[in-house]
Structure formats: C-alpha cells, structure tokens
Amino acid sequence: MSTGHWYVAQTHPNAESKAVTHLNRQGFATYLPRYMKRRRHARRVDNVAAPLFPRYLFVEIDTSAQRWRSIYSTVGVSQLVGSGDAPTAVPDEVITLLRQREDESGLIKLEHRPNYAVGDKIRVLDGVFYDCLGLYDGMADRDRVAILLDLMGRKVRIVVDADSVVAA
C-alpha cells in the first residue's frame, strides 16, 4: 500500500497521455479518468476515449520519499495544482468515487441527460436545420433529442443528435 497522496497535474493541451507515459517512467502512479465521447469530423461520427478533465490528471506522490519536483520538468506536464510552491493534495475519496463510476473497460460512465426542460428554446448547430430555433420536446432515444420547429407556419417535430443542439 502506498503512503502517497493524490495531486492534480495540469498538462499541456492534448498531452495527457504523453504526460502519463513519462510520469509512469519516473515511477509515479497516475490516474487519467476518461469517458467515451462522440466526435464529429468531416461528416463522420465516431466514439473516442477522451479525458474527463481535459488538461488535468491525478498523480500519486509520496512527498517524503519521492523526488516529486521532477514532475515540473516532465514532458507533457505544465504544473502541479496548488498554492504557492506546494501542491495541494486531493482527498482519496475523489479518486475512489471516480473509479467506482468506471465500467469494465475503465471508462467513466456519464449520465446522458439533457439540461433542457420541455418547452425550452434550443438552437440546432449543424445539419439541414442549422441555426434554426425550436422548442425542446424530449429525448427520442439515448443520443437524440426531439425538437418542435416552426416550419411554414406549422410546428414540425424533428429528431437530431443531442450533440447538435444548444440552449438558445
């Protein structure tokens, strides 16, 4: 059992995995919580594992036994989060709670709940109905929302990806 505490390391943009690799080589235990993210690119949608906290990861450090200041010069690491010269420890319960939410593949399970109430105004961000305003009408399924749009003087119910709308 380790006698270290968990700390938060801020990384350079998109360098979380690189920082984990280099910290592990130095003998530090790391934890990079990730979740399955839907990514759109060039009319394609795919799922990728993405950091739950972009640009941040957890590092377990025994400040009395490890040469922890080397973290500041580790490839991919920008700094340790803290006040002044000393990093601030994260309660062990935070790591425990995050790990309890992981599925069998080690990814954090997130709730897919929209932040909208029925009747809220929302805007479509892409597709045929780009920039149209409508009223939220509920979830059609796990990843898609139903919207009431005012088209040609009538309310028309359409279904779009949940990632394709924002509050108006």
Query: What pLDDT, in 10s, does the model give residues 60-74?
Result: 999 889 999 999 999
Q: d(Cα 15, Cα 10) in Å, to the nearest integer? A: 10
Domain-wise residue ranges, the chain: 5-100, 121-167
Task: Assign 114 a pLDDT band (cuts: 50, 70, 90).
Answer: low
**pLDDT at residue 165 is higher than 60:** yes
The predicted structure's pLDDT at residue 139: 83
- Fold type of domain 5-100: Alpha-Beta Plaits (3.30.70)
Query: What pLDDT, in 10s, does the model give residues 116-155?
Result: 888 999 998 887 888 889 999 988 776 788 899 988 788 8
The CATH number of the structural domain formed by 121-167 is 2.30.30.30
Contact 149, 156 (CB under 8 A): yes
Contact 134, 150 (CB under 8 A): yes
